[in-house]
């Protein structure tokens, strides 16, 4: 079923073309902001009059004379310099609602798009070896809502929207974590009960501002490392088969509590970081592994290359990035373990949030590792990349540094290492060529605007944003930050990122009090189920309800409120209608049977007509949300729907209505419930409940 806007734009555009003698006429029909001026307003005459160099009001009069919308609207009215105001007829609204009611599908009168695009959506994309935190919330749920809306509109017809979770599994942070795991191995296998890195981490943090004390502490740590080395050289050099691999296997197989694992990994990461930052006082040299054979006990380790500790994590990263080399099996084992555990954690969060990402959607940085070298060579060969100060760079037009010089998009550093830009180019090319994308949507925070602007220009320079001669649409969907009550990015009291799992668990706990207040007599398992739906829904809905490009303040009190534009309010509105249905059934009213036999509607009451008009505009809200990638358009529609239903229910009895009015009012209740459920559950991934 076409939306009213589609019908009006088609007819008004045809009338404009007939008057102007040209086919290129856009009616530009929009809902009015004030009901006093009707339901819709056509603004396109203004632009057409400017092109024709004629009086816009007179042109509007000519268009209205040619316009036939008598089956849809009351007679059009001309306002101001040339706006055309249109008010829907109750009969038109009634016909639309009856068509929606007659459709057994869940489409609620919304037609699939006539121009489907094979769309790839890149979202969530956390770094592994770290717990997901509040900074990952917006990309994860915004990207999921975008996928759900596009799929519902039929992008594409042949297969679902392609989700891509571009996890960070290939950077320096992994080298630090692997080094941290080696410290953990030392702790458990050699020092047994002495958790040396835990004690030393605490001391490093305490002495961070005192140079003299820090120097003494680092000397103490250095001496301990050297004592370990001298006492058991074969062990401390990291014999993978004998020590490190069994340790990793044990870590994987004994099914430790994930909370404990992440606490230790975080501590190890901080430990390595602080030692590297204190390298001028630390001054510990590490002997590198000898290739293809083990050290013998009679060999002098200092005959082999050594590197300073502060460079060790980068060295380990470079070895990890050569995991196809059999000499780097230790790094491969550690990388695989951390990746597996990290993805299991991510999957747990995705299930809690009810997002549609799965492990099959993961395409991390490591996925493209074999493409990076050939890509750099190809770009150089094609003349779009060049050497600059030892690095290989592209220079997209229009980007300057502070000195006004061309800003480089670096794809290979002087030491041969590749960067995010290289991986992103490889991913873009893969998505265009292998996934056959017509459109690629990247969902990231606004701080990455320049990176993606340069990436898109670099792809254009290389000709990689084209398929079969057609330009692929590249879209960067940005969003603002989640703030605390102090107006700064949300942190814990100690200044650390808020863990997403802890935040969601707290939301559910707080929601339990809301459920207890509303329905204390429910069974405990039912209360827990509702609390989960309300708590998780509150966090998601609060994010969706804000303009994605704006920052917003995170407040449990506001998002769990039972009034206002919140998930609990919307879920309660749905539960309220389900309660009406239960009462109807208890009185012997067979709702679906009555609705099935309803052939006409009486929308004579103003609140009936107002609610009916809004129900008929559901498709417009979805199309707007899809066009601008803004779920807040959808939440605004749903909130207004709930408000209009509340006004209708206050003014119009349903079960006690006159016999001739009851089918109309039951249908309005039924379609309101279906629309709220579809918008929340199907498009936003927020559960609805029959009781609160």
Does position 301 have pLDDT exceeding 50, yes or no?
no
Q: In 302-368, where does DSSP find H-type helix?
A: 312-320, 329-353
Check if the beta carbon of residue 616 is closer than 8 Å to that of residue 601.
no
Q: What's residue 349's pLDDT?
A: 97
Q: Where do the DSSP E strands lie in 146-210?
A: 162-164
Q: Report CA dihedral (674, 680, 684, 688) to the nearest 10 degrees.
A: -120
Q: What's the CA gap between 598 and 619, in Å, rounded?
A: 23
Please say if the pLDDT value at position 10 is more than 50. Answer: yes
Q: How many CB atoms lie within 10 A of CB 330?
A: 23
Confidence of residue 232 (pLDDT cuts 50, 70, 90): low
- Burial of residue 23 (number of CB atoms within 10 Å: 0-12, 13-18, 19+): exposed
439-445 and 473-479 beta bridge pairing: parallel
Cα 127 from Cα 115, distance rounded (Å): 35
Q: Is the pLDDT reported for residue 198 higher than 80?
A: no
Strand partners, 482: 552
Measure the CA–CA gap between 412 and 301, rounded to whole angstroms.
33
The whole-number pLDDT of residue 190 equals: 63
Q: Which of 152, 306, 164, 176 is nearest to 229 (CA)?
A: 306
Q: Which helix (H) or strand (E) holds 473?
A: strand 473-479
- pLDDT bracket for residue 663 (50, 70, 90): very high
Distance between CA atoms of 4 and 18, rounded to whole angstroms? 21
**pLDDT the model gives residue 2:** 86
Structure token digits, residue 227? 């004592």
| 678 closest CA partner among 633, 629, 619, 627 | 619
Residue 400 exposure: Cα atoms within 13 Å on the Cβ side: 5
Q: What is the predicted pLDDT for the residue at 156?
A: 63
CA gap 515, 511 in Å, rounded = 6
Cα 495 from Cα 639, distance rounded (Å): 35
> Of 552, 468, 435, 352, whose CA–CA distance to 166 is shortest?
435
Q: Write down the pLDDT at residue 320.
A: 85
Question: Tokens 């206002």 belong to which residue?
Answer: 564
Q: Mean of the pLDDT values across residues 112-137?
A: 94
Mean pLDDT, the chain, as a whole number? 90
Which H or E run contains 428? helix 420-433
Give every CB contact of residue 278 below 8 A, 6+ residues apart in sequence.
204, 214, 218
Average pLDDT over residues 650-670: 96
Token readout for 319 is 């070895």
| Residues 141-160 pLDDT 10s | 999 999 999 999 998 645 67
Mean pLDDT of 227-235: 58
Distances (CA, A) of 295 to 25, 240, 316: 80, 12, 19
Cα–Cα dist 668/671, whole Å:
5
What is the structure's pLDDT at 292?
A: 42
The percentage of residues in the chain with a pLDDT greater than 70, rounded to a whole number, is: 91
Question: In the 3-class helix/strand/coil scheme, how is 200-247 assigned residue by residue?
Answer: HHHHHHHCCCCHHHHHHHHHHHHHHHHHHHHHCHHHHCCCHHHHHHHH
Q: Count the residues in the chain.
A: 692
Instruction: Check pLDDT > 60 for residue 613.
Output: yes
At residue 204, the pLDDT reads 77
Confidence check: pLDDT of 290 > 60: no
Sign of the C-alpha dihedral, residues 62, 63, 64, 67?
positive
For residues 422 and 451, the answer to whether their CB atoms sit within 8 Å is no
Q: What is the model's pLDDT at position 291? A: 47
Domain 4-88 has CATH 3.30.1360.70: yes
What is the per-residue pLDDT for 312? Answer: 80
Are 474 and 453 a contacting pair, CB within 8 Å? no
Q: What is the DSSP letter of 43?
A: -
SS3 of residue 119 by DSSP: strand
What three-state secondary structure class fits 95?
helix
DSSP strand pairing (40-42 vs 83-86): antiparallel
Q: Per the structure block, which two tokens stand in for 627?
A: 């066009």
Domain boundaries, the chain: 4-88, 123-168+350-479, 172-320, 500-555, 567-684
Domain at 567-684, CATH from 1.10.730.10, 3.40.50.300, 3.30.950.10, 1.10.150.120: 1.10.730.10
What is the distance between the alpha carbons of residues 551 and 539, in angstroms, rounded to a whole number? Answer: 15
The yes-or-no verdict on residue 237 having pLDDT over 60 is: no
Indicate whether 417 pLDDT > 50. yes
The reported pLDDT for the residue numbered 218 is: 78
Quickly count: other Cβ atoms within 10 Å of residue 683's Cβ: 22
pLDDT at 186: 75
Give 335 or 321, the one with higher predicted confidence. Answer: 335
Among 311-320, 527-536, 647-656, 663-672, where is mean pLDDT lowest?
311-320
Greater pLDDT, 267 or 144: 144
- Spatial separation of the C-alpha atoms in residues 514 and 686, rounded to whole Å: 17
Considering only residues 205 and 400, tell me which one the structure prediction assigns the higher pLDDT: 400
- Class for the domain spanning 123-168+350-479: alpha beta
**523 or 326, greater pLDDT:** 523
Identify the band that residue 17 occupies on the pLDDT scale cut at 50, 70 and 90.
very high
Reported as a single tens digit per residue, the pLDDT across 552-582 is 999 999 999 999 999 999 999 999 999 999 9
| CB 310, CB 327: distance < 8 Å | no
Out of 4-8, 261-265, 400-404, 670-674, pick the least confident: 261-265
192 DSSP assignment? T
Q: What is the mean pLDDT of residues 225-241?
A: 58
Q: Token match 């229910």: residue? A: 649
Contact 559, 541 (CB under 8 A): yes
Mean pLDDT value of segment 426-452: 97
Q: How large is the average pLDDT for residues 445-466?
A: 98
Question: Looking at per-residue confidence, does 317 or 674 come out higher?
Answer: 674
Of 240 and 307, more confident: 307
Sign of CA dihedral 680, 686, 689, 692: negative
Letter string b/e over residues 123-162, b meaning 16 or more CB atoms within 10 A of that residue's CB: bbbbbbbbbbbbbbbbbbbbbbbbbbbbbbbebbeeeebb
More confident site: 429 or 293: 429
pLDDT of residue 311: 80
**What mean pLDDT comes out for the span 474-488?**
97
Backbone angle region of 685, left / alpha / beta, with phi > 0 → left and psi within -120 to 50 → alpha: left
Is residue 374 over pLDDT 70? yes
Tokens of 631: 């779920």
Residue 602 to residue 659: CA distance in whole angstroms: 12
Q: How far apart are CA 217 and CA 204, in angstroms?
A: 7
- The CA–CA distances, whole Å, from 169 to 248, 328, 363, 582 equal 18, 17, 10, 52
Closest CA to 332 of 408, 240, 259, 409: 240
Q: Write out the two tokens for 8.
A: 């009006």
**83 has which bridge partners?**
79
Residue 327: pLDDT over 80? no
Confidence band for 16, pLDDT divided at 50, 70 and 90 = very high
- Tell me the backbone φ, ψ of residue 444, rounded to 5 degrees: -140, 170
**Could you count the other beta carbons within 10 Å of the beta carbon of residue 503?**
18
Least confident of 82-96, 264-278, 662-676: 264-278
């Amino acid at each position: 079923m076409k939306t009213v806007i589609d019908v009006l734009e088609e007819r008004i555009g045809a009338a404009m073309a007939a008057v102007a003698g040209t086919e290129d006429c856009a009616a530009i029909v929009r809902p009015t902001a004030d009901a006093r001026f009707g339901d819709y307003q056509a603004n396109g005459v203004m632009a057409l009059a400017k092109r024709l160099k004629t009086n816009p009001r007179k042109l509007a009069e000519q268009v209205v004379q040619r316009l036939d919308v008598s089956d849809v609207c009351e007679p059009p009215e001309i306002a101001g310099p040339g706006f055309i105001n249109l008010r829907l007829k109750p009969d038109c609204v009634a016909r639309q609602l009856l068509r929606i009611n007659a459709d057994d599908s869940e489409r609620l009168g919304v037609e699939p798009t006539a121009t489907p695009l094979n769309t790839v959506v890149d979202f969530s994309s956390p770094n592994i070896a770290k717990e997901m935190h509040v900074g990952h919330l917006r990309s994860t749920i915004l990207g999921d809502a975008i996928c759900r809306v596009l799929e519902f509109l039929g992008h594409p017809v042949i297969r679902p929207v392609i989700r891509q979770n571009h996890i960070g599994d290939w950077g320096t942070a992994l080298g630090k974590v692997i080094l941290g795991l080696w410290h953990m191995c030392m702790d458990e296998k050699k020092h047994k009960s002495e958790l040396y890195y835990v004690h030393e981490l605490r001391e490093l943090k305490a002495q961070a501002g005192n140079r003299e004390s820090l120097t003494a502490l680092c000397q103490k740590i250095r001496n301990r490392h050297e004592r370990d080395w001298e006492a058991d050289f074969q062990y401390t050099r990291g014999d993978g088969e004998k020590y490190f691999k069994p340790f990793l296997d044990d870590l994987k197989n004994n099914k430790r509590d994930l909370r404990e694992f992440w606490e230790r990994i975080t501590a190890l990461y901080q430990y390595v970081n602080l030692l590297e930052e204190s390298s001028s006082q630390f001054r510990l040299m590490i002997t590198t592994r000898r290739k293809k054979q083990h050290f013998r006990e009679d060999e002098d380790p200092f005959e082999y290359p050594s590197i300073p500790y502060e460079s060790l994590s980068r060295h380990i990263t470079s070895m990890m990035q050569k995991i196809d080399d059999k000499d780097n099996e230790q790094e491969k084992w550690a990388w695989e373990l951390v990746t597996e555990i990290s993805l299991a954690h991510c999957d747990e969060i995705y299930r809690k949030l009810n997002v549609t990402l799965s492990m099959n959607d993961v395409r991390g940085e490591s996925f493209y590792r074999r493409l990076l070298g050939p890509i750099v060579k190809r770009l150089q060969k094609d003349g779009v990349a060049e050497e600059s100060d030892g690095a290989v760079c592209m220079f997209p037009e229009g980007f300057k540094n502070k000195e006004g010089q061309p800003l480089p998009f670096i794809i290979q550093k002087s030491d041969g290492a590749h960067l995010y830009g290289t991986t992103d180019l490889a991913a873009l090319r893969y998505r265009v060529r292998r996934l056959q994308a017509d459109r690629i949507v990247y969902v990231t925070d606004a701080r990455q605007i320049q990176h993606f602007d340069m990436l898109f220009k670099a792809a254009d320079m290389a000709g990689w944003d084209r398929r079969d001669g057609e330009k692929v649409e590249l879209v960067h969907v940005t969003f603002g930050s989640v703030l605390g009550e102090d107006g700064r990015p949300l942190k814990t009291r100690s200044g650390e990122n808020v863990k997403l799992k802890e935040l969601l668990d707290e939301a559910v706990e707080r929601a339990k009090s809301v459920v207890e207040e509303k329905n204390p007599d429910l069974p405990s398992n039912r209360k827990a189920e509702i609390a989960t739906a309300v708590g998780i829904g509150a966090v998601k809905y609060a994010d969706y309800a804000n303009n994605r490009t704006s920052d917003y303040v995170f407040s449990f009190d506001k998002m769990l409120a039972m009034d206002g534009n919140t998930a609990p309010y919307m879920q309660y509105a749905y539960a309220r209608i389900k309660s009406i249905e239960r009462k109807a059934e208890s009185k012997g009213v067979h709702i679906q049977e009555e609705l099935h036999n309803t052939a006409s509607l009486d929308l004579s009451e103003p609140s009936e007509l107002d609610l009916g008009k809004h129900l008929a505009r559901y498709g417009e809200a979805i199309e707007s949300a899809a066009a601008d990638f803004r779920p807040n358009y959808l939440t605004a529609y749903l909130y207004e729907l709930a408000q209009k239903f509340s006004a209708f229910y206050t003014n119009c009895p349903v079960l006690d209505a006159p016999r001739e009015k009851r089918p109309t009012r039951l249908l309005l209740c039924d379609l309101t419930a279906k629309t709220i459920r579809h918008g929340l559950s199907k498009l936003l991934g927020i559960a609805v409940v029959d009781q609160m």
